[in-house]
Structure 1
Amino acid sequence: MSKPQEPHRPFFHFGNPFRAISPKGSKLSSRLVFLLATFEDSLAQKLTKLTPKSDNDVFSFLWMGLAMKLLCEIHNDVKTLIGDLELPVSDWGEKWLDEYLDISVKLLDICNDFSSDLSQLNQGHLILRCALHNLASTSSNQFVPARCSLDAWNQHISSRTSRVENRSPIMDHLEELLDLPKVKNSPKGKVLMQVMYGVKVATLFICSVFAYAFSGSSKRLLSIHVPDTYRWAQAFTELQKNVNMGIKINHSSGRFTALRVLDAVDERVKKLHSMIQENIDGGMKVEECQNLIVDLRSEAEKLTQGVDHLTKQVDEFFHVVLSGRDALLSNLRSSETVFGQGMEGLSTRQP
């Protein structure tokens, strides 16, 4: 971003926009260049904002919520740009339409999978609440049901399966759709396809990171190379490098899960379970146990708040994708109706 103390900086601060973004063999009007440059600069700023400041940020619910929020903004930006392009749906190539509708329905499926994984985490919190309720009593009789609840937590978490991992072909298919469809004799179409490439890269990358966070499987991780001709390429490369570094550290640390708060909760559950067993055997340190209960309650609350916030962000993204899909289908139906009426009127005037 340009700084106030740097006057006379050109508006397009990434260099000559015509050389940088005009597809080979095509001529874009100054208006189309401006629209494309504005979108790509905005995308670069969003990707920069998402770049984690430290390794601990990558799989925090705060970072994941920001990632989903920015994804909503990027998809809303696309809807705005499509309107600014004034490109009628009737001018969209059949391949463009098929690809857009295919991608949108798969993104809706992925949102449902993310929501299912988050719902499993909420179920685990209900088990924790039961254990903490029992532990709130000073009576030693409550330790046995509390231990049972902690056993139930361990069983629930260890048996947790990610729907994203089970539906991996969806992610594979989205990766295949990164290639740009060919566009001929349509400057607006070329701009649209270049914009859609940026959207697909950002969406696929964020979804792959979420899939890793929920499943713990590195099979869904991607390494996407973006040509430096795109104005947002450097910001994306930096984001991908920092996130991958966080993933590498997560693997080497031997954490139970990629989700940091969930890992913190699980660590305290195991310690508390061991202390309760000591109490039953007659050797627990009461004060140490009480401190751990307070600590677990705090981490469990963070887990609940994080899951609730991220669930809302995933729901919002679902509705953004759905509204964009519905708007396109509505415009397509309107175009077909107008075209049909025009042809009907033409036929009545035929001799």
Structure 2
Amino acid sequence: MLLLVQKLSKLYHNLENHHYHHPAEVDVLSASLQAFRSDVSNCLNQLLSFNPEPRSEILTFSWIQQCLHLLLLINKAFLKLLKHIDYPMTSWEAASLDEYLNYGLHLLDLLNSVSSSLSHLSQVKLSFAYGLTLVGNSPSTAIEHLKPIHPQSSSKDIKGLLNKEDCEGKFGSCKERVVNEAMVEMKSIGFWVFGVVLASLSGETKPYLEMKQVIARFNSSLLIDVIDSCVSIVEKGETLKEVKELNNSANCLVSAIVYGETSDAAMDLEGKLGVFEKQMEVLEKQVDALFSKVLATRNELLQGVRQCKQ
């Protein structure tokens, strides 16, 4: 807090136009940024409050939904900050606008990757469902369609998210500095969310480990507790609880087919597939809605900037 006030004060005294700013304004900006960080911290703590036993069972469709919802909560806190400091996006300098717009593009790209992972799970679900229909008449063919869900290698070049351009020192006002500080927190949390989500859906650690490299440069203190809480689970390559249950149920049915006792096992898999499908639908709708919101916000900002330039 003290360090931030010192940075803001120094920035005020070194503005190129040498306008005088009352110290009270510095305090207001600092307090607004601190309030934003407090809001973000509360959102993260709420995410961490879900603490099942065993700990590995935190990786569920429900928790992924909470992670994605966190993006909306952080954005809401960010917009609240802009209102408090009376600094709408259309008043930003070019560097901040470019950074925010690029972040929006990254989110859209990452949401497409999430949709791709969900599509893979959906295809496996259909294969299981088709296998169920073959149990009675063609058990050997049914077994071919009941193979466990395996990790899907991510084709997303997450390292490409690293923006080599350092914007430090390019901001011409204290409000720009506050916006930049807030965007650092927002981006680090946003990228962390997608690292967790993509790793959980794919069943491999690569997306999370690469995303950790991306967010390391942001040096976000707010993320430390969250990362420490999840690192051992995600980095072990744990898969979603629902995927584990579906695989176990499919394996049980395969064993039952071999021994000629399929009734109970088939009913169990059918029930789990029904639950799995509903959870997938909810998550797919959430991803689609988030994609639409990010795209609409980005387009609205671009339109506003164009109108201001006219």
Verify same fold: TM over 0.5.
Answer: yes
Are the counterparts in 1 of residues 115 and 287 from structure 2 also a CA contact under 8 Å?
A: yes
Listed as ranges, the matches of 1:1-351 within 5 Å are 17=1, 19=2, 21-22=4-5, 24=7, 25-26=10-11, 28-51=25-48, 52-54=50-52, 55-87=55-87, 89=89, 91-133=91-133, 142-144=136-138, 147-154=140-147, 157-158=149-150, 161-162=152-153, 165-168=154-157, 171-176=158-163, 181-220=168-207, 221=209, 222=212, 224=215, 233=221, 235-248=222-235, 250-251=236-237, 258-279=239-260, 286=261, 289-337=262-310
User: Deviations 1:105-146 (Å, cap 9, x if unpaired)?
Assistant: 1211111121122122222222323333455xxxxxx152x5
Are the counterparts in 2 of residues 61 and 310 from structure 1 also a CA contact under 8 Å?
A: yes
Q: CA deviation at 1:62?
A: 0.9
Are the counterparts in 2 of residues 95 and 181 from structure 1 also a CA contact under 8 Å?
A: no
Percent identical residues = 22
Are the counterparts in 2 of residues 178 and 200 from structure 1 also a CA contact under 8 Å?
A: no
Separation in structure 2 between the aligned mates of residue 184 and residue 178 of structure 1, nearest angstrom: 14
Are the counterparts in 1 of residues 200 and 234 from structure 2 also a CA contact under 8 Å?
A: no
Separation in structure 1 between the aligned mates of residue 192 and residue 37 of structure 2, nearest angstrom: 17
AA at the equivalent of 1:62: S
Where do 5+ consecutive residues of structure 2 fail to align? Answer: 13-24
AA at the equivalent of 1:117: S
Q: CA deviation at 1:336?
A: 0.6
**Structure with greater contact order relative to length (CA < 8 Å, sep ≥ 6):** 1
AA at the equivalent of 1:39: F
Separation in structure 1 between the aligned mates of residue 6 and residue 128 of structure 2, nearest angstrom: 56
AA at the equivalent of 2:41: A
SS of the counterpart of 1:100? helix
SS of the counterpart of 1:240? helix
User: Deviations 1:195-218 (Å, cap 9, x if unpaired)?
Assistant: 100101101111111221233332
Separation in structure 2 between the aligned mates of residue 23 and residue 321 of structure 1, nearest angstrom: 34
Q: CA deviation at 1:187?
A: 1.0
Q: CA deviation at 1:309?
A: 1.8
Counterpart of 1:348?
none
Q: Would the alpha carbon gap of residues 278 and 167 (structure 1) be closer, same or farther in structure 2, given more than 3 Å must change? A: same
Q: How many residues matched? A: 289
Separation in structure 2 between the aligned mates of residue 67 and residue 179 of structure 1, nearest angstrom: 28
Where do 5+ consecutive residues of structure 1 fail to align? Answer: 1-16, 136-141, 280-285, 338-351
Larger Rg: 1
Q: CA deviation at 1:20?
A: 5.1
Q: CA deviation at 1:290?
A: 3.1
TM superposition score normalised by structure 2: 0.81
TM superposition score normalised by structure 1: 0.73
Separation in structure 2 between the aligned mates of residue 179 and residue 47 of structure 1, nearest angstrom: 27
Q: Would the alpha carbon gap of residues 149 and 72 (structure 1) be closer, same or farther in structure 2, given more than 3 Å must change? A: farther
User: Deviations 1:265-309 (Å, cap 9, x if unpaired)?
Assistant: 112212211321232xxxxxx3xx433233323322332122122
Are the counterparts in 2 of residues 32 and 191 from structure 1 also a CA contact under 8 Å?
A: yes
Separation in structure 1 between the aligned mates of residue 165 and residue 191 of structure 2, nearest angstrom: 9
Are the counterparts in 2 of residues 50 and 66 from structure 1 also a CA contact under 8 Å?
A: yes
Q: Would the alpha carbon gap of residues 104 and 150 (structure 1) be closer, same or farther in structure 2, given more than 3 Å must change? A: farther
Q: Would the alpha carbon gap of residues 271 and 85 (structure 1) be closer, same or farther in structure 2, given more than 3 Å must change? A: same
Separation in structure 1 between the aligned mates of residue 106 and residue 95 of structure 2, nearest angstrom: 16
SS of the counterpart of 2:147? helix
